[in-house]
A and B are shown apart, each in its own frame.
Chain A
Amino acid sequence: MTYKILITDNLSPQSLVILEEADDAIFDVVTGLTPETLAERIPEYDALIVRSSVTVTEEVFAAASKLKAVGRAGVGVDNIDIDAASKRGVIVMNTPGANSIATAEHTLALMLALCRHLPQAYTTLQAGKWDRKVYVGRQLYRKTLGLIGMGRIGSQVASRCQAFEMDVLVYDPYLSDEIAQKLNVKLVDLDELLGQADFISLHAAYTEETAKIINHETIAKMKDGVRIVNAARGALIDEAALVNEVKSGKIAGVALDVFVDEPLPKDSPLLGVDNIILTPHLAASTLEAQEFVGIQVIEQVLDGLRGQGFRNALNMPA
């Protein structure tokens, strides 16, 4: 039995080696497909591997007569019509965990860059100015970190911040006391977190409850001069409220890797504010994560096709 796999994005060379060495699999890498051209190609394939650039619509699933599985190299599945997949018995898998170290490190990078005005200081230096007094920073040491949501990434952020001797508070209705104790973090309700945190970092999934959890009302409950980092999902923040409160000085600074609209629109008010640091959704973008993500998705797809179970399936049939 030879499985045919279509890969619609760039996976790392190391991951493709796994497919090359598999006796029972052949694959094609075709990038730049629209849903229409993907639908045209898909009929002969047993599995599809995507990242985030290709949208897998109902139309595609309708044409995918042989398709058994879709593997998303990465976490977010907004680009895949999961209901359409489920209707046809196609399993959709992602690769949580493969990006978590990369995201945890990026969160710390953003937090420290925020504390020390790093991008601004470098830009000024490049412009020929040696301006030290303007860029006096803040320490993390003995400050309080408030994590909103603590899954894999949040807990990795917590342990790193504890090495900086921060106190860590966590608001996460789904976290058990046991785990909180083991990780040496204090479980609190949202208001307590908002009232005590010097730094707030978001690590929650995007749900009805967490949509725009950072808004005018919650910002008002924060400490004056709080600093906020978001490398999770743009939609957790009301961007207009955020800009307002950074300008007012209530919020001392913000570092964002994710936005409600991506790519970030050129006229976004976030662009015009001095103490907002921005990166273009780089949290998972490390060489190591890309390698790991590629290896993980291929292994998951092969194992699934070979009847060894579908790991990290998002829509296992009952």
Chain B
Amino acid sequence: MTYKILITDDLSPQSLIKLEEMDDVTFDVVRGLTPEALAKQIPEYDALIVYSTVTVTEAVFAAANKLKVVGRAGVGIDNIDIKAASMRGVIVMNTPGANTIATTEHTMALMLAMCRHLPQAHTSMKTGEWNRKVFVGRQLYRKTIGIVGMGRIGTRVARRCQAFGMEVIAYDPYLSDDVAHKLKIKPVDLNDLLSQADFISLHAAHTEQTANLINRENIAKMKDGVRIVNAARGGLIDTDALVEALKSGKIAGAALDVFIEEPLAKDSPLLELDNVILTPHLAASTIEAQRDVGTQVVDQVLDALRGKDFRNALNMPIGDVDVLKTLQPYLSVAEKVGSLHAQLADAAINRIEIEIKGREVRDHIKPITVAILKGLLSPVLVETINYINAPLLARKRGIAVSETQGLPTIEYPNIISCRVAWDGGEQTMAVTLFNEDEPRLVQMDKYRLDVRPDGVMLVIGGIDIPGFIGHVGTLLGKHNINIAAFRNGRDKPLGNTLSFLRVDADVPDSVMDALRSLDSVVWVKKVILD
């Protein structure tokens, strides 16, 4: 069996040599392909290796009759239509870890360069100046660094900062106390991190929850003269808010390797500040990382083609395409249950019990469990969660996962029930599919519901008094928030209610507070689902 591999960018020489030495592999390197051109080339290939420059669209997958694997040399997968891949049983894999050291070291380079005004001093000298007083710097020694996100990179940055004599505090909702203790770092909530840190370094994934983490509100909570480093993702920072704070001096300096739009716009206000350091997304750009990323993707793709291993696969490789087609919508709603649980739980979840009933789903408890875990861990975890690593990550974080029977949920032809527990509390949810493709949340705790979990939702615990729905609806209307769906469950007449509202726009904190002040409202939470 000879495998044909199409490579659409420059892989390191070492990785190409590896491929050349294989008896069962032939490959072609073709650069600069548009999606259309790629779709034309792809039909004869068993595997595709890409970097970030080529977009792999639905049309490409439609044309890729023989394709079994797509290997992304690198981490970000914005350029690959994973849903399209999954629908056709094509495995998509990336190479997390290969860039870890490079990004860690670049973070430290940025932090130190910022402290010592290095680029500015260098430029000054190149023009013939000898200007020492202007470039007096700051030390890291005995300062506090707040690390947002303690994944592979965050933990390594922490260790190096400790060698500089820094105090390390970290915000990562899924960092267990055990691990924090072992790393000798202090886990804190976000507000504490903002108010205590002299330096802040971002190492979080870019998700709904972390988008614009550095915004006006959070900047106001920071120490005066804080310094910020971002080698993670541009979307974590509200650029306008950052520029404002750099101009006012609230933020003494920023070192950025990533931006909301890349390449950085030539008229970006960041380019006019003298207390910033900017690099063009170089964090992963070392000879060593390029070599490792190349050899890693080649190893992974070959192992997947040969059926030996599917590590770092981002989608579930269900071999039987018909099964996948039927199961895919259930996997999708299972992810939503996990995400809802994560967003609505009062504290870090440490136990999950799952029960599945129904002909379509009963043989597939494993992928459904994994889908729930993926939804549970994705909102805040630094690493990319995929179907292969989700169980492992759950275990690492001390979350006990088990299959169970007899959860107190209603009967439906196909139902996925999930109970989660945390210290001092628990909650149960059940979901099903209507018409084999419409997800529905049908129960939460003792409340029967019937709501499509999607987009921005408000979850309201209330009291069943006349006018409750009217009060809530009127208040939202006053704030120009349109309600797409309002589903109400109650335990008994004039008892307690649980409502799920789907709304058309995000709900600001002020409106959340206004809702809380209604007599009939006991608590309100906002959830966001993809």
Beta-carbon contact of A118 and B280 below 8 Å: no
Beta-carbon contact of A138 and B286 below 8 Å: yes
List residues of chain A with CB within 8 A of the CB of B160: 160, 163-164
Interface digits, B129-169 against A, CB 8 Å rule (1 contact, 0 not)?
11110011111110000000000000000011011110000
Beta-carbon contact of A279 and B116 below 8 Å: yes
B392 touches A (CB below 8 Å): no
Beta-carbon contact of A278 and B126 below 8 Å: yes
Q: Which residues of B contact A (CB under 8 A)?
A: 101-102, 105-106, 108-110, 112-113, 115-119, 121-126, 128-132, 135-141, 159-160, 162-165, 262-264, 266, 271, 277-282, 285-290
Beta-carbon contact of B285 and A132 below 8 Å: yes
A22 touches B (CB below 8 Å): no
> What 5 pairs between A and B have smallest CB-CB spacing?
A163-B163, A263-B130, A130-B263, A112-B109, A109-B112
Beta-carbon contact of A139 and B116 below 8 Å: no
Q: How far is the CA of A164 from the CA of B290 in the complex (A)?
A: 19
Beta-carbon contact of A136 and B285 below 8 Å: yes
Beta-carbon contact of B125 and A280 below 8 Å: yes
Q: How far is the CA of A202 from the CA of B263 in the complex (A)?
A: 38
Q: How far in angstroms is the closest Cβ of chain B from A172?
A: 21
Beta-carbon contact of A280 and B118 below 8 Å: no
Beta-carbon contact of B141 and A141 below 8 Å: no
Beta-carbon contact of B115 and A105 below 8 Å: yes
Interface digits, A130-142 against B, CB 8 Å rule (1 contact, 0 not)?
1110011111110
Beta-carbon contact of B288 and A280 below 8 Å: no
A108 touches B (CB below 8 Å): yes
Given A137-B285, A266-B128, A280-B130, check contact A118 B119 (CB 8 Å): yes
Residue of A101, A110, A112, A141 touching B101 (CB-CB under 8 A): A141
Beta-carbon contact of B119 and A123 below 8 Å: yes
Q: How far in angstroms is the closest Cβ of chain B from A262?
A: 7
A122 touches B (CB below 8 Å): yes
Beta-carbon contact of A112 and B126 below 8 Å: no
Residue of A101, A282, A289 touching B135 (CB-CB under 8 A): A282
Beta-carbon contact of A139 and B125 below 8 Å: no
Q: How far in angstroms is the closest Cβ of chain B from A237?
A: 16
Q: How far in angstroms is the closest Cβ of chain B from A120?
A: 8
Beta-carbon contact of A132 and B282 below 8 Å: yes
List residues of chain A with CB within 8 A of the CB of B277: 118, 122
Beta-carbon contact of A262 and B130 below 8 Å: yes
Residue from B108, B126, B163, B279 whose CB has the most chain A CB atoms within 10 Å: B279
Interface digits, A283-304 against B, CB 8 Å rule (1 contact, 0 not)?
0011111100000000000000
A207 touches B (CB below 8 Å): no
Closest to B135 in A: A282
Beta-carbon contact of A101 and B109 below 8 Å: no
A150 touches B (CB below 8 Å): no
A-B contact pairs, 19 of them (CB 8 A): A102-B139, A105-B164, A112-B105, A113-B112, A116-B286, A118-B119, A118-B277, A121-B280, A130-B280, A131-B280, A132-B282, A163-B162, A266-B128, A279-B116, A280-B131, A282-B136, A285-B132, A287-B136, A289-B139
Beta-carbon contact of B163 and A160 below 8 Å: yes
List residues of chain A with CB within 8 A of the CB of B110: 118
List residues of chain A with CB within 8 A of the CB of B132: 280-282, 285
A227 touches B (CB below 8 Å): no
Q: How far in angstroms is the closest Cβ of chain A from B252?
A: 11
Beta-carbon contact of B130 and A116 below 8 Å: no
List residues of chain B with CB within 8 A of the CB of A130: 262-264, 280
Given A116-B282, A119-B123, A163-B159, check contact A282 B137 (CB 8 Å): yes
Beta-carbon contact of A115 and B285 below 8 Å: no
A32 touches B (CB below 8 Å): no
Closest to A161 in B: B163
Number of interface residues of A (CB under 8 A): 52
List residues of chain A with CB within 8 A of the CB of B102: 137, 139
Q: How far is the CA of A279 from the CA of B110 in the complex (A)?
A: 16
Given A141-B101, A287-B137, check contact A116 B124 (CB 8 Å): no
Q: How far is the CA of A124 from the CA of B460 in the complex (A)?
A: 53
Beta-carbon contact of A119 and B264 below 8 Å: no
Residue from B106, B113, B122 whose CB has the most chain A CB atoms within 10 Å: B122
Closest to B277 in A: A122
A26 touches B (CB below 8 Å): no
Beta-carbon contact of A279 and B135 below 8 Å: yes
Beta-carbon contact of A141 and B105 below 8 Å: yes
Q: How far in angstroms is the closest Cβ of chain B from A271?
A: 6
Beta-carbon contact of B125 and A279 below 8 Å: yes
Q: How far in angstroms is the closest Cβ of chain A from B101?
A: 5
Beta-carbon contact of B140 and A105 below 8 Å: yes
Q: How far in angstroms is the closest Cβ of chain B from A169?
A: 18
Q: How far is the CA of A289 from the CA of B285 in the complex (A)?
A: 34
Beta-carbon contact of A141 and B288 below 8 Å: yes
Residue from B129, B137, B159, B287 whose CB has the most chain A CB atoms within 10 Å: B137
Given A128-B266, A132-B281, check contact A139 B137 (CB 8 Å): no
Q: How far in angstroms is the closest Cβ of chain B from A5?
A: 23
A94 touches B (CB below 8 Å): no
A7 touches B (CB below 8 Å): no
A232 touches B (CB below 8 Å): no
Closest to A137 in B: B286
Q: How far is the CA of A163 from the CA of B165 in the complex (A)?
A: 11
A233 touches B (CB below 8 Å): no
Beta-carbon contact of B116 and A106 below 8 Å: yes
Interface digits, A24-45 against B, CB 8 Å rule (1 contact, 0 not)?
0000000000000000000000
Closest to A160 in B: B163
List residues of chain A with CB within 8 A of the CB of B108: 108, 112, 164
Beta-carbon contact of A122 and B115 below 8 Å: no
Interface digits, A184-221 against B, CB 8 Å rule (1 contact, 0 not)?
00000000000000000000000000000000000000
Closest to A102 in B: B139
A183 touches B (CB below 8 Å): no
List residues of chain A with CB within 8 A of the CB of B162: 163
Given A109-B115, A113-B113, check contact A286 B279 (CB 8 Å): no
Residue of A121, A263, A266, A277 touching B279 (CB-CB under 8 A): A121
Q: How far in angstroms is the closest Cβ of chain B from A74?
A: 12
Given A108-B112, A118-B109, A136-B286, check contact A264 B125 (CB 8 Å): yes
Within 8 A of B (CB), among A125-162: 125-126, 128, 130-132, 135-141, 159-160, 162
Residue of B105, B121, B280 touching A282 (CB-CB under 8 A): B121
Given A115-B109, A264-B130, A280-B125, check contact A109 B282 (CB 8 Å): no
List residues of chain B with CB within 8 A of the CB of A290: 136
Beta-carbon contact of A139 and B264 below 8 Å: no
Beta-carbon contact of B163 and A135 below 8 Å: no
